[in-house]
Amino acid sequence: MVVVIKKDAPPSAIQDAMKAIAEERSTRKGFDAKKYAGKLKRGLDGLTYQKELRDEW
Q: What per-residue confidence (pLDDT) applies to 45?
A: 82
Q: How far apart are CA 40 and CA 12, in angstroms?
A: 50
Indicate the length of the chain as a whole number. Answer: 57
Q: How far apart are CA 43 and CA 45, in angstroms?
A: 7
pLDDT tens-digit series, residues 1-48: 688 888 898 999 999 988 988 888 777 677 777 777 876 677 778 888
> What predicted TM-score, i.e. pTM, was given to this entire model?
0.42
Q: What is the pLDDT of residue 57?
A: 66
For position 50, what pLDDT does the model report? 87
* CA–CA separation, 48 and 13 (whole Å): 57
pLDDT at 34: 79
